[in-house]
A and B are shown apart, each in its own frame.
Chain A
């Protein structure tokens, strides 16, 4: 472990740290990388007379080797999740069919589903327009900076989406923008971005968000409106003593809408559907959170 030579560049240090953290949660890795990058750049800026390699030799002494740092982060994550007291939330487990009503995650997911359509449309349009302008523009001089700008916007959009996903769905995502590449020429930067699998998976995610957003939004609206309509409608029918629903094709259903016990039963069904909708939201939130984690988190 001590046999490794000190990394000579910030990039190399971060690569080594990333290796040392292999297997940890993606959000944790990107946090550790962001912290290290911030510190190393600060150290370089504070020692303008030294070369990067010289600074790094001392940094490994003061800041710690990538292996040591990896260990610190792992033990921190274990401490937070484990014996360190975390008031309120930690011990609460949301189990059982009805307890979902007090589970903030279900409401967060429902909120996410409603937001998914407008944001999905925006992501889709932005990405499609960006790609279809970037490719032909590459024939011209200004095409290169344009393509870089577009790839940068994909990073930022993915990051914002990551924050929303963490806030509403509770899946840990990077807290910081991914490190900017230190490549010198503009071509190197583009090459680096294009060979980075995350660039493509992020674009795929942004495109996928439209169809998914349509489905989420539809399910979300139905999940909210259906119970309200069933409960509210039956209640009004009961109070006004006349049914507004005619279903002569299906006699038994029609009958249900015209008798008090039937209407009460519909209200009960509506109330149950609230719980079903919250469970559905929670499930979709869980699935989508993991999809986002797989496609957006830069390792």
Chain B
């Protein structure tokens, strides 16, 4: 929608591919209860500076893949209106994966930040910790 180049869109997509799983596990772990897709989509605040960071529709296939991997459990329940809803909850294995992934994410972020900081330091004034 914005004037981002195709490279940037592809880059965002690739970044999101792994991270969306991490975010969804985190949301469900924090909620501490089962949630259905639409509820999760609303709970994930995917608004970035340039609009949506990723489409809500992308959440559903990730939920299904986490379910298939056993990191989430799911059940279907009829709803008062509209089609039945699929509720997702985090499993013990999912919690274990979440804590491991959090570690991996911290390592990765530090590594990337350092690399970017070094790059910026070489180019001009050091730009620390952009918010």
Contacts of A62 in B (CB 8 A): 52, 55-56
A38 near B69 (CB under 8 angstroms)?
A: no
What is the size category of the interface that chain B forms with chain A? Answer: 20 to 34
Chain A residues with CB below 8 A from B57, complex form: 35-36, 39, 63-64, 68-69, 72
Give chain B residues whose Cβ lies under 8 Å from the Cβ of A64: 55-58
Q: Is the CB of A61 within 8 A of B52?
A: yes
Chain A residues with CB under 8 Å of B55's CB are 62-64, 68-69, 72
Q: A42-B38, A84-B69 are in contact. Are A31 and B64 (CB under 8 A)?
A: yes
Closest residue on chain A to residue B78 by CB atoms: A177
Cβ-closest chain B residue relative to A73: B61
Count residues of A near B (Cβ-Cβ below 8 Å): 33
Contact between B81 and A45 (Cβ–Cβ < 8 Å)? Answer: yes
Which parts of B22-49 form the interface with A (CB within 8 Å)?
Answer: 36-38, 41
Question: Are A176 and B60 CB-contacts (below 8 A) given A43-B38, A45-B81?
Answer: no
- B69-A61 in contact (CB<8A): no
Say whether chain A's binding surface is mostly helix, strand, loop, or mixed: helix
Contact A37 B83 (CB under 8 A): yes
In the complex, which residues of chain B have a beta carbon less than 8 angstroms from the beta carbon of A86? 69
A76 in the interface, Cβ–Cβ < 8 Å? yes
> B52 touching A38 by the CB < 8 A rule?
no
Establish whether residues B60 and A39, one from each chain, have CB atoms under 8 Å apart when the complex forms. Answer: yes
Contact A38 B64 (CB under 8 A): no
Q: Which of A33-64 contact B (CB under 8 A)?
A: 34-39, 41-46, 61-64
Q: How far is the CA of A233 from the CA of B17 in the complex (A)?
A: 60
Judged by a CB distance under 8 angstroms, whether B86 is at the interface is yes
Question: A79, B85: Cβ atoms under 8 Å?
Answer: no
Query: Does A229 reach chain B (CB closer than 8 Å)?
Result: no
In chain A, positions 164-211 with a C-beta closer than 8 Å to chain B are 175-177, 179-180
Contact A41 B82 (CB under 8 A): yes
Are A39 and B56 neighbours in the complex by a CB distance under 8 Å? yes
A84 to chain B, nearest CB (A): 7
B74 CB to closest chain A CB (Å) equals 9
Q: Mark B55-82, 1 if CB is under 8 A from A, else 0.
A: 1111011101100110000001000011
| B124 contacts chain A at the CB level, 8 A cutoff | no
B69: A residues at CB distance < 8 A: 80, 84, 86
Does A41 lie within 8 Å of B86, measured CB to CB? no
Write the chain A residue with the least CB distance to B38.
Answer: A42
Pick from B17, B37, B65: contact of A38, CB below 8 A.
B37
Tell yes or no: B15 within 8 A of A by CB: no
B61 touches A76 (CB 8 A): yes
Asked if A39 contacts B38 (CB within 8 A), the reply is: yes
The answer to whether A38 and B82 touch across the interface, beta carbons within 8 angstroms, is yes
CB of A32 within 8 A of chain B?
yes
Give the residues in chain A near B61, CB-CB below 8 Å: 32, 35, 72-73, 75-76
Residues of A within 8 A of B62 (CB): 76
In the bound complex, how far is the Cα of B66 from the Cα of A86, in angstroms?
11
Instruction: Determine whether B131 belongs to the interface, using a CB cutoff of 8 Å to chain A.
Output: no
Per the bound structure, the CA–CA distance linking A123 and B13 in Å amounts to: 47
For this complex, 12 residue pairs linking A to B, each with C-beta atoms less than 8 Å apart, are A32-B61, A35-B61, A37-B82, A42-B82, A61-B52, A63-B57, A68-B57, A72-B58, A76-B61, A84-B65, A86-B69, A176-B83
A-B pairs, top 10 by smallest CB distance, nearest first, are: A41-B82, A42-B38, A64-B55, A64-B57, A76-B61, A35-B60, A63-B57, A69-B57, A72-B58, A72-B61
